Homo-oligomer: A and B are copies of this chain.
Amino acid sequence: MAGNTFGTLFKLTTFGESHGIALGGVIDGCPAGLVIDEAFIQSELDKRKPGQSRITTQRKEADKVEFLSGIFEGKTTGTPIGFTIYNTNEKSKDYDHIKDSFRPSHADFTYEAKYGHRDYRGGGRSSARETASRVVGGAIAKLILKHYNININAYVTQAGKLKLDNPYTFYNLEDTYNNPARCPDEKMAQQMFDYIDEIRKEGDTIGGITTCVVKGCPIGLGSPVFDRLEADLAKAMLSINATKGFEIGSGFNGVNLKGSEHNDEFYTEGDFIKTKTNNSGGVQGGISNGEDIYFNVAFKPVATIMKPQNSIDKNGKNVIVNGKGRHDPCVLPRAIAIVEAMAAMVILDHLLINKTTTL
């Protein structure tokens, strides 16, 4: 259980370091007969790709995925899908200065302590560059979810202190990709863009919150008591670099309500059973109830800043760590692609598991 496989029936195993030869992975358990839309997969990767605008890192990576197996004549065969994404623009020289130093709030120290031997270049395995492989897995999951009319949309709901006032139902989520801040509210998107750009010029960074919405999820997904749908979503989200929190439905604010205010009343709408409110966030007892699933994910401010910081080196000596390299002042605009990818894999996995629940 070395930690690099995600999922139970639809399984993604990833490999690769930031400045190694290649990233990649294996998708095992993808149902046979799926038409692989490579353009769609690449477009998903592009949503996460660096260099999309002034407010993301200028590192240039093609992030071109190559499939090595599991697809024949354009369709999946049910056998494992191996893929690679070669690293093309690694500037390892940028990292010589941290070879022996531990950057604050990075994983340099913990990897060194745990493994004894680490690839320090660009954070190595701890770099968010690894998440490109997740986006490939998520893109294929999305292709399957389309067959079930399940849609997943994430957007930036908070960047630093700038925060949308309304819940997701207020916005047209299709507008998210109209702007580089990835916020469906045009005015706020511009404010976020300007703010992130200002932070970038300061050499500082900010964090933020993304909201993710799953529409069309069938009733019945989730395997209580431990593999509740929200538990698997929480794990998926906290497995993404830089995340510090997850909440579903009413989340942390729900604790301010009384039961009589918080409970979601059932009613019927034609043949369907619905709830009048959705504080549950689409899950009850760990199982999807057919309402929209929505949740928030908190990302801390990016650890790499362009300012000198006090730290220590391997020998415990005090050092000054200076920021170098090409980094994001705020990961949120790129991170939503990863949040969607992980959510897609969780939903698909439970969709497959659920096929075996009854006789």
Contacts and interface: CB of A to CB of B under 8 A. Distances in A.
Please indicate which of the listed interface residues A111, A261, A279, A289 has the most CB atoms of chain B within 10 Å of its own CB.
A111
Interface in A341-359: 352-359
Interface string A254-290: 1111111111111110010101000111011111110
Nearest to A315: B268
A155 interface: no
A223 to B, nearest CB: 3
A232 interface: yes
A170 interface: no
Contacts of A30: 2
Contacts of A144: 359
Nearest to A114: B220
Nearest to A257: B301
B255 A301 contact: yes
B1 A223 contact: yes
Interface string A63-98: 000111110110111111110100000000000000
A161 interface: yes
Interface in A8-44: 8-9, 11, 13-17, 20-26, 28-34
Interface in A320-359: 352-359
Nearest to A28: B2
Contacts of A300: 249-250, 254-255, 257, 262, 279
24 contacts: A3-B28, A3-B226, A15-B81, A16-B80, A17-B70, A21-B69, A22-B69, A31-B356, A72-B124, A77-B118, A104-B265, A105-B279, A106-B285, A109-B284, A111-B285, A113-B287, A114-B287, A208-B255, A238-B246, A249-B300, A254-B300, A257-B301, A259-B301, A266-B311
Given A17-B72, A161-B256, A263-B303, 20 more contacts: A1-B353, A3-B224, A5-B226, A6-B226, A21-B66, A24-B68, A105-B262, A106-B284, A110-B220, A206-B255, A225-B239, A231-B235, A234-B246, A235-B238, A244-B247, A244-B250, A245-B247, A259-B303, A265-B311, A267-B312
